[in-house]
Amino acid sequence: MSLPRIGVVIVTMGTRPQELKALLASVEKQDVPAARVALVGNATPLTEISTDATKIPLEENLGCPGGRNVGLKMLRESGEVDVVIELDDDGLLIAEDVFRKVQQLFAEDPKLGIIGFRVADENGHTERRWVPRLRADDPMRRGLVTAFLGGGHAFSLPMLRQIDLWPAEFFFGHEESDLAWRALDAGWKILYEPELVLQHPKTSPARHAVYYRFTARNRVWLARRRLPIPLIPVYLGVWILLAMLRMRSLAGAKAWWGGFLEGARTPCGPRKPMKWRTVWRMTRLGRPPIL
């Protein structure tokens, strides 16, 4: 059984230099070294960062998915890696065998496309919203799922060659769902492996000024791009109800509805709805594509 070669992509905005330094050190301490590490600076110079990683400074902020695509393309074209691990720049690998376990999991199952890590705070606690399933009571329950967290995960490069990369136009929000749905529709598996841990500070995504707008816009784009027509109004209706029940500010509601209308009026990219057998597969895995 040949083991896949590991590559790493980290995208930074340059706002968390100490956390990035610690993350890079945790990558270097892995007992299986990465064949290549790509450090992408989203509108960020990287001259002051001391690392053996390949630095790719970008003049423009391409958003998280756009920045990751730059690193993924570089690794894909290099021919040096078979699996890519992507990590948030304020995350931390607390174990030294993460890359080795990722290698083994991909080597054992050629249809494994994505491995989702368990995200935990500095006290080892995993938030319910960090568990990629509806029944989130037990973050230690391993198994096949329909989603993964963008903060820490691993991709099969053969999968990415088949389904393509991140939807860069999303910029921020729901890009994971778009990629996960494409992977499932192409017959790939997504595994949630809680033993692979990315330590990450407990923060709210709503801290970003564009959160409400992009969350709503991208959810509409996601539905228009990936869902069979009968499911689009169901999916959007469910999420309108949930968003309004959870909303805590008038400003947030205005931004959300502005984003929703933007998503309905603007081009969403190529439409390729998932097959009905994928809908059934996701339902059997516990999360039909209306939630």
User: What is the share, in percent, of the chain residues with pLDDT greater than 90?
Assistant: 90
Task: Select the more confidently predicted residue: 177 or 17.
Answer: 177
Give the range among 26-35, 161-170, 207-216, 219-228 with minimum mean pLDDT: 207-216
3-class state of residue 138 by DSSP: coil
Q: What is the dihedral of CA 280, 285, 288, 291, to 10 degrees?
A: -170
Contact 173, 239 (CB under 8 A): no
- Where do the domains of the chain lie? 6-203, 206-273
For 285, the token pair is 């895995």
* pLDDT value at 33 more than 70: yes
Which residue from 163, 91, 119, 94 is spatially nearest to 132, judged by alpha carbons?
119
Contact 91, 23 (CB under 8 A): yes
* pLDDT value at 131 more than 60: yes
Confidence label for 48 from pLDDT (cuts 50, 70 and 90): confident
Query: Which residues sit opposite 11 in a β-bridge?
Result: 40, 88
Cα-based distances in Å from 258 to 216, 238, 251, 272, 286: 8, 18, 11, 25, 31
User: What is the rounded average pLDDT of the residues 184-192?
Assistant: 98
Residue 13: other Cβ atoms inside 10 A:
15
User: What is the rounded average pLDDT of the residues 49-67?
Assistant: 94
CATH 1.20.120.80 for domain 6-203, yes or no, is no
pLDDT at 106: 98
Q: Share the mean pLDDT of the chain.
A: 95
* pLDDT value at 208 more than 60: no
Which residue from 71, 88, 67, 82 is spatially nearest to 37, judged by alpha carbons?
71
* pLDDT value at 203 more than 80: no
* pLDDT value at 1 more than 80: no
For 286, the token pair is 């516990």
Confidence label for 204 from pLDDT (cuts 50, 70 and 90): low
Query: Which residues sit opposite 144 in a β-bridge?
Result: 191
Confidence label for 2 from pLDDT (cuts 50, 70 and 90): confident
User: What is the rounded average pLDDT of the residues 241-255?
Assistant: 93
User: What is the share, in percent, of the chain residues with pLDDT greater than 70?
Assistant: 98
pLDDT tens readout for residues 72-121: 999 999 999 999 999 999 999 999 999 999 999 999 999 999 999 999 99
Contact 46, 55 (CB under 8 A): yes
